[in-house]
Amino acid sequence: MDNKYLQIYHDYAGKIESGALRPQVKLPSEHELSQQYGTSRETVRKALHLLSQNGFIQKIKGKGSFVLPIQQWDFPVSGLVSFKELSAKMGKPSRTRVIELEAMAADEELASQLRVNPAEPVWKVVRTRTIGGETIILDKDYFLQDTIPELTVEICEDSIYQYLEEVLDIPISFAKKVITVEEPTPEDRRLLDLEGYPMVVVVRNYVHLEDATLFQYTESRHRPDKFRFIDFARRHG
Question: How many Å apart are CA 69 and CA 16, to the nearest integer?
Answer: 9
19 burial level (CB within 10 Å; 0-12, 13-18, 19+): exposed
Residue 61 pLDDT greater than 50, yes or no: yes
**What Cα–Cα distance (Å) separates residue 83 from each residue in 55, 94, 168, 199?**
22, 9, 19, 22
Whether residue 92 has pLDDT greater than 70: no
> Does 223 score more than 50 pLDDT?
yes
Q: What is the pLDDT of residue 66?
A: 92
pLDDT tier at 1 (50, 70, 90 boundaries)? very low
- The band of 193, judged by pLDDT with boundaries at 50, 70 and 90, is very high
Instruction: Specify whether the CB–CB gap between 104 and 65 falls below 8 A.
Output: no
Residue 215: partners with Cβ closer than 8 Å, 6 or more residues away: 114, 143, 144, 146, 147, 148, 207, 208, 209
Map out the domains of the chain with their CATH numbers: 4-67 (1.10.10.10), 73-230 (3.40.1410.10)
Query: Which whole-number Å values give the CA distances from 62 to 29, 59, 65, 199, in the listed order?
Result: 11, 9, 10, 33
**What is the predicted pLDDT for the residue at 237?**
46
Least Cα distance to 25 among 58, 74, 72 occurs for: 58
Written as one letter, the residue type at 50 is L
For residues 153-164, give the mean pLDDT: 93
CB atoms within 10 A of CB 75: 20
Q: How far is CA 164 from CA 77, 178, 192, in A?
A: 21, 23, 28
State residue 36's pLDDT score.
Answer: 94
Q: What is the DSSP letter of 26?
A: B
So what's the pLDDT on residue 53? 76
Is the entire prediction scored with pTM above 0.75? Answer: no
pLDDT greater than 60 at residue 236: no
pLDDT digits (tens, 9 = 90+) for 6-32: 899 889 988 887 778 988 899 999 999
- Of the chain, the percentage scoring pLDDT greater than 90 comes to 55
The percent of residues above 70 in pLDDT, for the chain, comes to 84
Arithmetic mean of pLDDT over the chain: 86
